[in-house]
Amino acid sequence: MKQSFDFLDAGNETHFRSWRAEKLRRSAGLTNDPVQIGSLEGPDRSEALTVLNQCKHQNFCIYQVTDPGDPTERSSLKLRAFAKSFGLCIAEDHPFAGDDGVVDLCASSKPSKVGYIPYTNRPLNWHTDGYYNSEGKKIRSFVLHCVRSAADGGNNQIMDPEIAYLRLRDENPEFITALSHPNAMTIPENVEPSGKVRPASCGPVFSLDPETGDLDMRYTARKRSVIWRDDDVTRAAVDFLNSILVSADPHIHTVALEPDQGIICNNCLHNRTGFDSQSATLSVRHLLRARFHNRISGA
């Protein structure tokens, strides 16, 4: 169903106020206790509808698998089956993904992964996944599934992009216009250890999904390797967004994933604390991640 509210029309205050009231009302009625899923490979209709309802109203859902099944079976294949239950079939082509399109997120000493923070035990700042991708390869959803948790730390915070949008627009509607500019954020070219060049990516922070009209967001709080459009409103908007993300906003949720728990979301803002900083060896923390170019769907 096509979204009736145009997120990029910063001048339509009447429609915004109506959407805002409904958004906050729906969000306030949700709990982030994990949704119980019997089997990762195939949630039943009731389970699937609960997940979809959470994602519809806050763009993410935390789940708990109650029957993990045979531990010798490949969890990545089960994860892809789970994602498919919600219309997520277009997997990202990622250099570190296996044949099934799933990436193992764990601390690694492999030369190809050295220098990439997701494969260390260091903290990850606020971002949306694939913020460096081109428009044609935009990440619109992902599933993050815990195989083994860290002994200490490794927690995530997550925030619905629509709430971030709402906070920015409440502060100054011009922030939305500035962050919707096609040159709002540029990620420079990157040369990977293999010699492969990832071209520069320039685009807006806020845009619309062409199929549904829902809000898409690409963002990173990194100070390095990002170039913001050189104007006062954009700088003020970025500063205000960063201030939200380090605040005690009640819509910022802390998630400490345990084994057989996960997050499915429409590419929400998220971060990760550092973990096992006192360990003399690589951490056993192991998560699986699958990213997709389309949004969560289903009924």
Residue 5 domain-assigned?
A: no
Averages of pLDDT over runs of 10 residues in the chain (299 residues) are: 84 95 92 94 95 96 91 81 93 73 83 72 94 92 95 95 98 98 93 72 96 96 92 98 97 96 98 85 88 87
Residue 8 domain-assigned?
A: no
Distance in angstroms (rounded) separating the CA atoms of residues 208 and 218: 11
Residue 186 domain-assigned?
A: yes
Q: CATH number of the domain that 85 lies in?
A: 3.60.130.10
Query: How wide is the angle at C-alpha 140 spanned by C-alphas 283 and 235, nearest 5°?
Result: 90
Residue 69 domain-assigned?
A: yes
Of the candidates 118, 113, 230, the residue with the CA atom closest to the CA atom of residue 183: 230
98: tokens are: 């296996």
**pLDDT confidence of residue 299:** 47
Residue 34 domain-assigned?
A: yes
Cβ-contact 234, 179 below 8 angstroms: yes
Counting the structural domains of the chain, the total is 1
3-state secondary structure of 220: strand
**pLDDT confidence of residue 127:** 97
Q: Is the dihedral of CA 35, 69, 87, 47 positive or negative?
A: negative
Residue 66 domain-assigned?
A: yes
Residue 3 domain-assigned?
A: no
Residue 153 domain-assigned?
A: yes
pTM for this prediction: 0.93
Query: Which residues are within 8 A (CB) of 285 and not within 5 positions of it... i.e. 6 or more apart?
Result: 106, 107, 121, 148, 149, 150, 154, 275, 276
Domain holding 41, by residue range, is 13-292
